[in-house]
Amino acid sequence: MARLKRYVRGLVASIIASGSGLIAYAQTANSANSANSRTGGIVDSTSSASSEAALFGIWQLTDLWIFFVRLIIAIWVVILLLLVSRFFSRFVSKRIRANSIWDDEYTRKVSGLIGEIIFYTLTIFSFLIGFMIIQVDFGWILWGISFGIWFAFKDILGNLIAGILVLTNKEFRLWDIIEVDYTDKTYFGRIEEITIRYTVIRTLDLRKVIVPNLAMVMNPVRTFDGEELVRLETKVTIHYETPVQWWLDTIKSAVNSLEFVKEKDSTKVMMEAMWDHGLEIKIYFYIDPTAGKLMAVAKAEVNDAIYASFVQEGIVIPYPHSTITVDHNDKNLIGTMLYVDKEKN
């Protein structure tokens, strides 16, 4: 490494010395040409044009060397600033973890996220400083790059910004039980991992679902670890002729017989509507969200228990009926019946 540094220093010194020599040569040639003009010497037009062309070429070569030297300096400055940026971002991450009360995975991820944000921000400034050293107008370059990046990676950038919101959100954290709607489906499970771009949910059937952070921000997220109880509801229809107290006690006993139903005294059974085919009954019950049972599964088991109790008690579950009244004096109807009877014979 030391040998490489000495080699680079020697190369830069040689470049600077060569550039200085070219500049001095150009200035000497220009002074000689001016002196020749002042002394009134006869200069052939052809040789004068050749001298000017040579001088112009020397100045072009000098500008090229100066640009090359600035480019070398800019590269080294950018590399040095990148090393400083990496060191500073890691230092900030370590200080955040050291000053945090909780030394858990959530704290480590947040500190790592802050360190990455600092590093990439300083990286952008490092390259801007490099452009300034080589005297490049980076305004249009930066605008063009930003415009192209936005259209090409707008979803990725949206997920990155959403990742900051998710990681700084206090409503849900790692290992919390949540329910989120994504791609016309509902996913229920524990948060297993939160990254800058996506969130990993482990469902109760042990599937790993990767949800983009933008979906976590834009779609409703229902949390369950924050509540001790969650109220669910289901509906059932019974016949009009069924005694009220009979179906009331039967349904309530069937629901409360399930172990996952909590606060059994708060289970409510009430009539919600009266339809033409029967009475619509709504049942409210409470479950423990941390017990690891899907709400859809809990509703299904409650419905199974209610149906089994109806079968055992002989309670009839009605279904829609249609009553058809036939007018025997309708000539069209009589003609149709005669035609059907003729076809049968």
148 found inside a domain: no
157 found inside a domain: no
d(CA 139, CA 232): 58
Range of the domain at 16: 2-30+50-133
Residue 192 has a pLDDT of 87
Q: Are residues 256 and 187 in the same domain?
A: no
Residue 329 has a pLDDT of 65
CATH number, domain containing residue 273: 3.30.70.100
204 found inside a domain: yes
d(CA 150, CA 156): 9
284 found inside a domain: yes
Q: Are residues 18 and 123 in the same domain?
A: yes
Q: Are residues 12 and 128 in the same domain?
A: yes
**Residue bearing tokens 């771009």:** 197
Q: Are residues 308 and 246 in the same domain?
A: yes
Q: Count the Cβ atoms, other than its own, within 10 Å of residue 224.
A: 21
Q: Strand ranges (DSSP E) for 196-323?
A: 198-203, 208-212, 221-223, 230-238, 261-262, 268-274, 279-287
116 found inside a domain: yes
249 found inside a domain: yes
Domain count, the chain: 3
Q: Are residues 293 and 192 in the same domain?
A: no
Q: Are residues 64 and 119 in the same domain?
A: yes
Q: Are residues 20 and 109 in the same domain?
A: yes
Residue 140 has a pLDDT of 66
CATH number, domain containing residue 193: 2.30.30.520
Pairing of strands 198-203, 185-194: antiparallel
Q: Are residues 217 and 241 in the same domain?
A: no
The answer to whether the CB of 263 falls within 8 A of the CB of 229 is: yes
CA 26 to chain centre: 60
Residue 174 has a pLDDT of 81
DSSP character string of 79-105: HHHHHHHHHHHHHHHHHHHHH-S--SH
129 found inside a domain: yes
What is the radius of gyration, based on Cα positions, of the chain? 41
Q: Are residues 77 and 178 in the same domain?
A: no
Beta carbons within 8 Å of 100's beta carbon, 6+ residues apart = 107, 111
Q: Are residues 18 and 79 in the same domain?
A: yes
d(CA 331, CA 345): 21
Residue 18 has a pLDDT of 47
Total residues found in the chain within this entry: 345
Q: Output b/e per residue, 280-319; b: 16+ Cβ within 10 A.
A: ebebebbbbbeeeeebeebbeebbebbeebbeeeebeebe
Measure Cα distances from 180 to 157, 210, 219, 289 in Å: 21, 12, 7, 15
Q: Are residues 187 and 285 in the same domain?
A: no
Maximum alpha-carbon separation in the chain? 139
Along the 345 residues of the chain, how does pLDDT read in single tens digits? 455 445 445 544 554 554 455 445 444 544 544 544 444 444 444 444 455 555 445 555 567 777 788 888 888 988 999 999 899 888 888 887 777 666 667 677 777 777 888 888 888 888 888 878 887 766 666 676 666 666 666 777 777 778 777 877 767 778 888 889 888 888 888 888 887 788 999 987 888 999 998 888 888 888 876 677 888 999 998 888 888 888 899 999 999 999 889 999 999 999 888 887 788 999 999 998 777 677 788 899 999 999 999 999 888 888 776 666 666 666 566 555 554 555 555
172 found inside a domain: yes
Q: Are residues 85 and 63 in the same domain?
A: yes
